[in-house]
Structure 1
Amino acid sequence: MLERYGHGGDLWTAEETFGWPKDQFLDFSSNMNPLGPPLVVQQILSDAWRDIVKYPDPAVRELRSKLAQKYEIPMESILVGNGAAELIDLIARVLKPSVTGLARPSFSEYEEAIHKTGGGIYNIPLRSSHQFELQQQDMEAAYSAVDLFFLGHPNNPTGKLIPRHILSNLIESGRSCVLDEAFMDFVADEQEHSLLKLASTSRQLFVIRSMTKFYSIPGIRLGFMVAHPEAIREIQQQQVQWSVNYLAQRIGTAVLEDEKFERNSRHWLQEEKAWLTGQLRQLGLDVVFTEVNFVLFSFPEPMGLTVKQAQKYMGQQGILIRDASLFEGLSERYCRVAIRLREDNVRLIEGLRLMLAAFGAESRTKS
């Protein structure tokens, strides 16, 4: 299985499976910004390598100061981690919820972190009939059953933001909630939707952000959490010392200053998202509207095609796509692809077109 370790972007397994060299795959299975990393990352790696003989700042002060300035929140409300994955695991271990409400489908690491603490899961359905948008009645049904909500905002793999009235009701209910805003940087009107500021003073709300997706630095591992200062101190006590290395701190601080990169990324995404989703629909695929840099779609039942068949065919052509049926709540017909540069997206569409023609011819032969 290509997602042997639960994620896209596993080029080592792809090489073993399809026989292509790792550096020759066109990877639509992981959701990185194709405009990155920013050029300043290359400069830091070139200039700062001698400084790895020093210990990193255990309090990550410079990066936290930059984050506080950018998002207008107190430094004391920020905890930086070794990617969002570490922070997801930390918050689960500290809060130790008995039952956690998860919207399905959603990122598998939420459930994995909760299971490690012995907690149970309450499934909140996201239905295709509602374009996978979270519904108020389903949230209300969960209120009496859970002691923590763990929600993607925007959600992965659906690309949907949580409706504002649902977030307002959740906050007013006083129930604890962790919002994973890993892809919020890609949202055009980010400041209108993010709850970072509210989380910095709230005792019930925790917001996790990733820096690896937007700035294309997944190999560096960098993310941060925003919560009430007392909660941050409690969580930090459970964090492994030296969790955030020296280069990650330097790179994180530098990329936050690159406003041009941020503007260019949002401009690219709005244009390319419209083009790619339009092309996917022209192929006859059922496309879910997305707010971010990836697209969830399904093969209509009459096509008689499963995502595993599609993944095998495309992988043999050197193009990697994500098997979205591995997300609980999605059928074997669902696929997720990243939005990349136009040249790459054209190759994806051509590959899918050839595949649909090949499978169509095969099905006609069988019938």
Structure 2
Amino acid sequence: MSTHAPTEPDLRHHGDAEVRDAAGLTDLAVNVRTGTPPSWLKARIAASLDSLAAYPDDRPARRAVARHHGVPEECVLLTAGAAEAFVLLARALRVRHPVVVHPQFTEPEAALRDAGHPVARVLLEAADGFRLRPGAVPEEADLVVVGNPTNPTSVLHPAGALGALARPGRTLVVDEAFIDAVPGERESLVPHLAELPGSVVVLRSLTKTWGLAGLRIGYVLAGAPVIAALAEQQPLWPVGTPALAAAEACCSARARAEAEAAARVFAADRAHLLARLREFGEIGHATAAPEGPFLLIHHPEGAELRARLRRSGYALRRGDTFPGLGPRWLRLAVRDRATTDGLVRALGAAGVR
């Protein structure tokens, strides 16, 4: 792990660009659960359309999120997806030494730079399995952003390692957009919010597990003063009524049980994907124990392999837009076994050994 001066990858490139205007491709580039949203959630969203004449009221959804996580309502902020939260943080926080731990989702750094903040990077090392070592973060950092499990590495950092980054005078932001794809939400920092020093902010997304990327809904969990500061940066009625209905529904007991079942399916399908990919000696892996609904792999000719697979009907996420990676790296979403077996056949046809 090392500190590093910023390079200039395309921080605004995301997986959806791999499949936009590309009919017929099997999508392994976007980390949204297939077969979603479920019918019961669609019905809840559709029922909310009868209320569109009224201005949105976020109180029921905030109460539902607060109950779900066992935090006070004033510690919850609903946002137009987790991505909006990064913009709010960049605008609201008065920081001098922000640090982003990479490789990870690039919008936090992009938002900070857009707001005029000079951003330092801590690059986790492939040779170390992209593990977080808290001592690598500069002591002077007054804002630290890290993902858990991290996109794109699929590494789940121990809550203890994350908690070691918290201290007075520092805001620690943990992006848990994919934590609901981890059985039991292991290593989440939410249960420790009240006990950690400094300001700790956890971001959640409802777009991945529930297939709501087009609806834009997520939320922030943090101390009441931080939530108030972020809310001041939002426009009036920032989250629409259908998205609020979805947020409330996704906090129900039924939804929690379905998310847990989906996380266990992800784990089984990921194990199958790992086993099949290990049939190829040329393919390397970011970590021996991935925990997200995606894998990060590398191949000596990664960019060319991605192009060949695309011609065979499979879209993978390029890795060179993530700081700390390069063109050898590719990210692929975990899908069902039949899709994985089809990908394996395509890899063999592409000459991978």
**TM-score by structure 2 length?**
0.89
- The CA deviation at 1:82 is 0.2
- The CA deviation at 1:197 is 3.7
CA separation of 1:224/1:201 partners in 2, compared to 1, >3 Å: closer, same or farther? Answer: farther
The equivalent of 2:150 in structure 1 is: 155
Are 1:199 and 2:193 counterparts?
yes
Matches of 1:329 and 1:250, distance apart in 2? 39
1:34-54 CA-to-partner distances (Å, cap 9, x unmatched) read 252122222134433333232
Are the equivalent residues in 1 in contact too, given 2:92–2:233 (CA < 8 A)? yes
- The correspondence for 2:268, drawn from 246, 271, 292, is 271
Matches of 1:97 and 1:351, distance apart in 2? 48
Larger % of helix: which?
A: 1
Matches of 1:171 and 1:35, distance apart in 2? 38
TM alignment of 1:218-233, pairs within 5 A? 218-233=213-228
SS of match in other structure, 2:55: coil
SS of match in other structure, 1:177: strand
Matches of 1:314 and 1:209, distance apart in 2? 32
- The CA deviation at 1:12 is 6.3
- The CA deviation at 1:242 is 1.5
1:183-240 CA-to-partner distances (Å, cap 9, x unmatched) read 11112231x4112243357651111111111111101111100111122112101111
CA separation of 1:271/1:229 partners in 2, compared to 1, >3 Å: closer, same or farther? Answer: same
The equivalent of 1:116 in structure 2 is: 114
Are 1:135 and 2:133 counterparts?
yes
Are the equivalent residues in 2 in contact too, given 1:298–1:335 (CA < 8 A)? yes
Are 1:30 and 2:26 counterparts?
no
**Amino acid corresponding to residue 93 of structure 2 in structure 1:** L
Are the equivalent residues in 2 in contact too, given 1:100–1:122 (CA < 8 A)? yes
Are the equivalent residues in 2 in contact too, given 1:38–1:255 (CA < 8 A)? no
TM alignment of 1:171-320, pairs within 5 A? 171-172=166-167, 175-190=170-185, 192-199=186-193, 203-257=198-252, 258-284=255-281, 285-287=283-285, 288=287, 289-299=289-299, 301=300, 305=301, 307-320=302-315
Are the equivalent residues in 2 in contact too, given 1:73–1:200 (CA < 8 A)? no
Matches of 1:127 and 1:267, distance apart in 2? 28
Matches of 2:64 and 2:238, distance apart in 1? 19
CA separation of 1:167/1:46 partners in 2, compared to 1, >3 Å: closer, same or farther? Answer: closer
SS of match in other structure, 1:218: coil
Matches of 2:70 and 2:345, distance apart in 1? 45
The equivalent of 2:59 in structure 1 is: 61
Matches of 1:296 and 1:100, distance apart in 2? 26
Matched-pair identity in %: 27
Matches of 1:348 and 1:45, distance apart in 2? 34
**TM-score by structure 1 length?**
0.86
1:60-103 CA-to-partner distances (Å, cap 9, x unmatched) read 11111111111111111000000001111101110142221111
Matches of 2:176 and 2:11, distance apart in 1? 25
SS of match in other structure, 2:183: coil
- The CA deviation at 1:248 is 0.5
Matches of 2:231 and 2:47, distance apart in 1? 30
Matches of 1:9 and 1:354, distance apart in 2? 25
For structure 1, list consecutive stretches of 5 or more residues without a partner in the other structure.
16-20, 361-367
The equivalent of 1:327 in structure 2 is: 322
Matches of 2:307 and 2:232, distance apart in 1? 45
SS of match in other structure, 1:325: coil
SS of match in other structure, 1:215: coil
- Higher gyration radius (CA): 1
Are 1:7 and 2:3 counterparts?
no
Are the equivalent residues in 2 in contact too, given 1:96–1:117 (CA < 8 A)? no
SS of match in other structure, 2:165: helix
Mean alpha-carbon deviation: is it higher for 34-43 or for 208-217? 34-43
Matches of 1:135 and 1:48, distance apart in 2? 45
The equivalent of 1:364 in structure 2 is: none
Matches of 2:193 and 2:278, distance apart in 1? 38
The equivalent of 1:18 in structure 2 is: none
- The correspondence for 2:76, drawn from 50, 72, 78, is 78
Matches of 2:311 and 2:230, distance apart in 1? 45
CA separation of 1:70/1:129 partners in 2, compared to 1, >3 Å: closer, same or farther? Answer: same
- The correspondence for 1:99, drawn from 97, 100, 104, is 97
Are the equivalent residues in 1 in contact too, given 2:134–2:162 (CA < 8 A)? no
Give every structure 1 segment of 4 or more consecutive aligned residues whose post-TM-superposition deviation is greater than 6 Å.
Answer: none
- The CA deviation at 1:327 is 0.6
